[in-house]
Amino acid sequence: MKGKFTLLVAAAFFAGSSILRAQSDNTTYLHCGTDEAIAKVFAEHPDLKADFEARDQLAAQQDAFDFQHGYNSTTARNSNNSAQSNPSFIIPIVFHIIHDYGSENISDAQVIDEVRILNNDYRKLNSDTTAIRPAFLGIATDAKIEFRLANLDPNGNCTNGIDRVYSTQTYIGDDGSKLNPWPRNKYLNVWVVKTISNGAAGYAYLPGTAPSSSTDGVLILSTYIGSIGSGSVATSRALTHEIGHFFNLEHPWGNTNNPGVACGDDQVSDTPITKGWTSCASSSASKVCNANIEENVQNYMDYSYCSCMFTAGQKTRMTNALNSGTGQRNQLWTAANLTATGVSLNGNPNLCAPIADFLPISEAMVCAGGSVTFHDASWNGHPTAWNWTFPGGTPGTSTDSIPVIQYNTPGIYNATLTASNASGSNSTTRTAEVLVSPTTAQYSTQNYSEGMENSTTFTNDWVIINPNGNAWARTTTAAATGSASCKIANTAAALGQIDDLISPSLDMTAFTSPVFTFKVAFAQRTSTDADKLKVFVSTDCGHTWSQRYSKIGATLSTVSATTTNFVPTVAQWRTETISLASYLTDTDVRIKFEFTSGGGNNIYLDDININSATGINDPEIGINQFDVFPNPVQDNTMVSFSMDKSQKVSLQVFDMTGREVMDLYDGNLDAGDHQFPIHTAGTLGSGLYFVRLTTAEGRSVTRKLVVE
């Protein structure tokens, strides 16, 4: 045994914030997150930690005994001459592609390429074995482990071993993203996601360390799968590394979480003590922990990104794990399980019937006369024939894999795809898939407002897009003015969930210098919550969008963080203002509120207004954009202006005779933007009034106020 047994410590793993670089280029690569994940589990389940440490110590003792009696070196000599012989272990594997129909929804070919790489690496068939350094040629070994994509799913149905799951969990990347797990005693589960929350490239649980059987397996980034598509040759060995952990291999420097810091041990006798490497150090430069002993920089379990080998001792440790009941690894490769999962020695996959799927996944929006392009996204088996039906579309049917359909009549339409091949067919229908708007705007007026007070108007005018639940919905539990607002019950939303609220169409040529305002109320639950609210504008009936506003986390919040169910008071709302002056010539404009859940509390919207800003500027007295909107008066009418300098002002309302009827403010104001509400209910009768802002020097600016 190389050194004293080292316990796995529950220290914070640096993978979430650190990077490494390959020796050959300046590309940034990510680390493994296994130690961080296991440390978290051990902190929550001390019993698992104790069991693991006991097993690890026994494994280290067995390895020392084997090494002393020459078993490892004998295995290495034999395995070097038997790379083409039958494997000792065939492992059924399934890839769960967790996706939002983006680039993370990698192709079958990219997955198949990754399986090829795994088998080359674990059978020592990789071409770069020629680069193995002389000090390790004698112990670089064929691990006799091969991987086969499952041909039968847990229910005995035909599968190609690639399971596709539509979910925004792809943006989270933690144990909660491990959707649709297949039994771990039958399949090695690999979950592929777009983002991993701790910043790592991937992580796995060593045998017996997973918090549950449903989370046992590998979670990995889509860009670290295969050498084609979104993958790369440099990152394609990440899964080789993570599966090594699944088979009980540790990092060569041990589980201190920090390569390059302190010399450590992985409990395998033929891997030299090392600090670990984040670059491909030369033979002489790698003699760090012991002056005359070269370290195994090229090991698959290191971070050098020039890895190309396992040692004989690592093979023995993996073999022992596969023969152990810990984590049910010994059930994966049995003859009975290979039959149950449809895996044969030659590994030829079944030809399965496709599972029909297509893009777009959420409502496609176009103007009447516009076109929508549909894309086949069927999986499980490659279709050879497509049959589409498009009610309201031209043409109404298609046999193309990527049909382009024109919609001439306003309305909401379904779409259906039947995908087929020699093994069968499957159909799917999406309701309300296409929203076709008229070319004439719904509203053409100098003032538009939506206060959610009329439930029928709100329901008829506004489009809510929400594929995952907890959508925008009218509520009477809180309001900035009146009795209603629009809310997302965000405490129940999944992380990464996106919800859209889209306005009716507006003819902006009726406005003069339009100003768009709305009120928002939002609370975080913790200071690290990163919920996002964005506002977009479309001039083509929602077919394309331009961003006009974005706030996230604390900048979006209108109150301090709270873990209780957030229901805002009147004082906990903030008014946001967006200029729409660049859309003055557009006759069909829609506005979209897009909210992305980041773990925070509820969010509310109210008093959505678009008004012609005819604000008066008087640079001599330092007053700019003095305006009153909405006008004629509504519940949420405001006086708005900005000041170039701090000064004393008075803000009053006068009737037609010049009599003061309302005192809005009298005092000092700082430079900047200011807004004051005008509450006329019960105080002003119908008629024409004037709002006047007067400075201490007696200069003033005035705006008309209409009360209907």
State whether residue 147 is helix, strand or coil: strand
* Distance separating alpha carbons of residues 130 and 136, to the nearest angstrom: 12
d(CA 146, CA 12): 33
CA distance 121 to 545: 46
Per-residue pLDDT, 279: 87
The confidence score (pLDDT) of residue 17 equals 30
Query: Per-residue pLDDT tens for 237-270?
Result: 999 999 999 999 999 998 766 788 889 999 899 9
Residue 12 confidence (pLDDT): 29
Tokens, residue 604: 């509310």
Our CA angle for 387, 391, 395, nearest 5°, is 65
How many CB atoms sit inside 10 A of residue 167's CB? 19
CA 619 from chain centre, in angstroms, equals 48
How many other CB atoms sit within 10 Å of the CB of residue 667?
8
- The one-letter amino acid code at 103 reads S
CA gap 221, 110 in Å, rounded: 13
- In one letter, which amino acid is 361? I
Look at residues 229, 220, 241 and name the one whose alpha carbon lies nearest to residue 304.
Answer: 241
Instruction: Return the structure tokens found at 395.
Output: 């043409």
Q: What does DSSP assign to residue 310?
A: -
Q: How far is CA 55 from CA 51, 248, 420, in A?
A: 6, 10, 50
User: Of the candidates 616, 615, 607, 634, which has an alpha carbon nearest to the alpha carbon of residue 516?
Assistant: 607
Tokens of 494: 């999944």
* Residue 388 DSSP one-character state: E
Best CA proximity match to 293, nearest among 265, 259, 256:
265
- Crossing angle of helices 46-68 and 71-80, in 10° steps, is 80
Nearest-angstrom CA–CA distance, 408 and 438:
9
Give dist(CA 111, CA 344) in Å, integer: 19
Element at 314 (helix H, strand E): helix 312-322
Q: Reduced to 3 states, what is the DSSP secondary structure of residue 546? A: strand
Cis peptide before 630 (omega within 30 of 0): yes
Which two tokens mark 572?
Answer: 């906990």
Using alpha carbons only, give the angle 500, 505, 506 rounded to the nearest 5 degrees: 125
Nearest to 331 by CA among 92, 55, 58, 87: 92
CA–CA distance, 18 with 617 (Å, rounded to integer): 52
The DSSP bridge pattern shows strands 188-193 and 89-99 to be parallel
Place of tokens 């693991």: 52
Task: Establish whether the linkage from the previous residue to 360 is cis, with ω within 30° of 0.
Answer: yes
Give the number of other Cβ atoms within 10 Å of residue 630's Cβ. 21
Res 74: pLDDT: 39
> What is the phi-psi region of residue 260: left when phi exceeds 0, alpha when psi lies from -120 to 50, beta otherwise?
left
Q: Which of 74, 373, 38 is nearest to 207 (CA)?
A: 38
Sequence-separated (6 or more) residues with CB below 8 Å from residue 456:
none
Q: Residue 118 is inside which H or E element, if any? A: helix 108-122
**One-letter amino acid identity for 117?**
I
Contact 97, 163 (CB under 8 A): yes
For residue 567 the two structure tokens come to 């229901």
| Complete domains list, the chain, with CATH | 14-340 (3.40.390.10), 358-437 (2.60.40.10), 447-611 (2.60.120.200), 616-707 (2.60.40.2360)
Q: Which H helix or E strand runs over 122?
A: helix 108-122
Degrees to nearest 5, angle at CA 495 with 489 and 499: 55
Please give the Cα distance from 15 to 242 (Å, whole number).
14
Positive or negative, the CA dihedral 352, 357, 358, 361 is negative
Tokens of 88: 């000792």
* Cα 114 to Cα 32: distance, rounded to the nearest angstrom: 17
Q: What is the reported pLDDT for 316? A: 94
Euclidean distance between CA atoms 36 and 574, whole angstroms: 40
Structure tokens at 121: 């690496």
Using an 8 Å Cβ cutoff, are 628 and 614 in contact? Answer: no
* Residue 360, both tokens: 């777009």
What does the CA dihedral 172, 176, 182, 183 come to, rounded to 10 degrees? 140
Cα gap 331→213, rounded to integer Å: 13
User: What residues have CB less than 8 Å from 265, skipping those under 6 apart?
Assistant: 2, 3, 4, 6, 253, 254, 273
Report residues of the chain scoring pLDDT below 70.
1-28, 56-84, 256-257, 345-349, 362, 467-469, 513, 612-621
- The rounded distance, in Å, linking the Cα atoms of 17 and 393 is 50
